[in-house]
Structure 1
Amino acid sequence: MSTVTQVFKAPAADVWKVIQEGWLYSGWVVGASRIRSVDDQWPAVGSELHHSVGSWPFLIDDSSRVTAVEPERKLELLARGWPLGEAKVLITLEDLGDSRCRVAIAEDAVRGPGKVVPKNLRDPVIAVRNRETLRRLELMALGGAGRS
């Protein structure tokens, strides 16, 4: 899996508040252009958020499903974007104290055409996208997104 890690200037609890609010997903996940619906149980195992991927007018409607979760520590997803395929995504948070945390995203294609692309070619592309995803997630956490 391609893994990108960043130390945030925000505590894990604040980052988790962004992650657990499914309607914010398209604000920090690069490639997700809009959210169409979010299961009431999000981010419980088995819950889904329904998103669109791409740019208008070339949008793909699909969904991501939670496959494992440890609140404020870990979220594992099966992210779908057919006909491009499916990817396993693991987001981990480690509180470092002093209002900082380490966040990592590990991702790789598991089904579909993306899986056929050689790993040495797909990993750098995934890494670039996920570095920007982490930048956006940190900014949203610092800005108070997801807090009531």
Structure 2
Amino acid sequence: MSSTSRTIAATPEQVWSVLADGWLYPLFVVGAARMREVDDTWPAVGSKLHHSVGSWPLMIDDTTEVLEVEERQRLLLLARGWPAGHAHVELLLEPRGADTLVTIKEQATGGPGALVPKVVQDPQLHLRNVEALRRLAFLVEGRAKEGRLP
């Protein structure tokens, strides 16, 4: 399982407020092109994000579902992106003084992506998640600086 972490200059509550707004996911999830719908109960267990991946005109509609949630601490998702397959993506938030250590753990769990050897899969997921955490930090820290977060 690939694991990538970054400290974000914001509280866990502020980071969580961005994660809890499903409409914001294409702003930080690498590969997500657009959001089509967000279940009203997001991020409750069983709720889904209805997103598209790829580049126009070759876009694929799929979903990401919440499998487990511990508010302001942990979110376990089943991210689908056919034809590649699906993956478990875990987001962990740990307070570090006034900051938050955010960790993304990801592993392909089905479809062709799961057949890729971990020695090849993990470095690719790590690089993608370095960028995802970079984008998430820009989003959270920018909104916090503007006073747009709790």
Pairwise TM-score range, normalised by the shorter structure: over 0.9
Amino acid at match of 1:147: L
User: Is 1:25 matched up with 2:25?
Assistant: yes
**1:7 deviation in Å?**
1.1
1:6 maps to which residue?
Answer: 6
Give distance in 2, aligned partners of 1:7 and 1:102: 4
Deviations, residues 3-57 of structure 1 (Å, cap 9, x unaligned):
0011111111111111000000000111101000000000000000100011111
1:72 maps to which residue?
Answer: 72
1:109 maps to which residue?
Answer: 108
1:147 maps to which residue?
Answer: 149
Give distance in 2, aligned partners of 1:31 and 1:147: 25
Give distance in 2, aligned partners of 1:127 and 1:36: 27
**1:147 deviation in Å?**
3.4
Give distance in 2, aligned partners of 1:124 and 1:108: 11
Gaps of 5+ in 2: none
2:99 maps to which residue?
Answer: 100
Deviations, residues 114-133 of structure 1 (Å, cap 9, x unaligned):
01111100111100000000
Gaps of 5+ in 1: none
2:39 maps to which residue?
Answer: 39
Question: Could you tell me the TM-score, scaled by structure 1's length?
Answer: 0.96
2:127 maps to which residue?
Answer: 128
Q: Secondary structure of 1:40's match?
A: coil
C-alpha RMSD of the superposition: 1.2
Overall identity of the aligned pairs, in %: 51
Off by >6 Å, runs of 4+ in structure 1:
none
Give distance in 1, aligned partners of 2:149 and 2:49: 19
Give distance in 2, aligned partners of 1:139 and 1:12: 15
2:81 maps to which residue?
Answer: 81
Question: Could you tell me the TM-score, scaled by structure 2's length?
Answer: 0.94
Amino acid at match of 2:106: E
**1:88 deviation in Å?**
0.2
Deviations, residues 94-113 of structure 1 (Å, cap 9, x unaligned):
0111x211000000100000
Amino acid at match of 2:138: L
Give distance in 1, aligned partners of 2:56 and 2:20: 26
